[in-house]
């Protein structure tokens, strides 16, 4: 495990953009459909079983939750979208907040977009990719739950996703990821390292 991510600790939650820390330093955000395994992915990336709350009820993350690695670097857990049984007004609020965060936040260096490998590219995933592409924000898709497919089926889905990203969203790449068997963890850490500006020699 990369020790620099084990240091992640809860900083604060925000319901509005003005509640976020000052717009400086480096942030990497995680976004995804509420049942795609985003909280489990965040816990796996940080080597902490309870950093992000994992629930059998999708959509429990309904605030922007910030986790600090060091004084200048933060992981940002964005609210899950599309599945949560919440009032329509709440969904509209979070859609507006997410759009403004992705379009305006200057500290945001990259987005990890979590998709279930069995159900990639739902309409809200595409909307998220449209936002990041419009801004030119670097995006990396984690195709989670890859342990649920055979190796051949997972590889086929990855190739298909990469082809579509290359054709429509050139700012985005993709990889397989599993919180259960931790496959893809090194590749995901390498992407985070690049966004956070960690040197090769720093604390692996």
pLDDT digits (tens, 9 = 90+) for 62-90: 789 999 999 999 999 998 886 556 778 87
Provide the percentage of residues in the chain whose pLDDT is more than 70: 91
pLDDT at residue 124 tops 70: yes
Dig out the tokens for 120 from the structure.
Answer: 């990639």
Instruction: State the Cα–Cα distance between residues 12 and 61, nearest whole angstrom.
Output: 13
pLDDT of residue 133: 93
Helices 38-46 and 185-196: crossing angle in degrees, nearest 10, is: 80
| pLDDT for residue 200 | 56
Does residue 121 carry a pLDDT above 70?
yes
3-class SS of residue 25: coil
pLDDT at 201: 40
End-to-end CA gap in the chain? 8
pLDDT recorded at residue 53: 73
CATH code given to domain 3-196: 3.40.50.300
Q: What is the mean pLDDT of the chain?
A: 90
Which pTM value belongs to this model? 0.91
Instruction: Please report where in the chains the tokens 């390292």 appear, as a residue.
Output: 193
Q: What is the pLDDT of residue 61?
A: 55
Q: Coil, helix or strand for 168?
A: helix
pLDDT digits (tens, 9 = 90+) for 8-65: 999 999 999 999 999 999 999 999 988 899 999 999 999 998 898 755 444 455 789 9
Domain definitions of the chain by residue range: 3-196
- Percent pLDDT > 90 in the chain is 75
- 113's enclosing H/E stretch is strand 108-116
């Amino acid at each position: 495990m990369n020790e620099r991510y084990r240091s992640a600790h809860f900083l604060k939650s925000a319901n509005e953009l003005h509640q976020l820390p000052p717009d400086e330093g480096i942030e990497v955000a995680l976004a995804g459909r509420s049942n795609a395994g985003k909280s489990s992915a965040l816990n796996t990336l940080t080597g902490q079983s309870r950093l992000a709350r994992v629930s059998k009820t999708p959509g429990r993350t309904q605030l922007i939750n910030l986790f600090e690695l060091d004084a200048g670097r933060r992981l940002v857990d964005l609210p899950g979208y599309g599945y949560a049984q919440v009032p329509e007004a709440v969904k509209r609020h979070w859609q507006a907040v997410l759009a403004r965060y992705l379009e305006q936040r200057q500290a945001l260096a990259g987005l990890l977009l979590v998709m279930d490998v069995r159900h990639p590219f739902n309409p809200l995933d595409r909307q998220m990719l449209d936002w990041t592409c419009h801004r030119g924000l670097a995006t990396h898709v984690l195709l989670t739950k890859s342990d649920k497919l055979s190796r051949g089926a997972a590889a086929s889905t990855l190739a298909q996703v990469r082809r579509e990203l290359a054709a429509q969203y050139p700012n985005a790449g993709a990889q397989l990821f599993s919180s259960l068997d931790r496959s893809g963890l090194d590749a995901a850490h390498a992407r985070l390292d690049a966004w956070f500006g960690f040197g090769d020699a720093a604390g692996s």
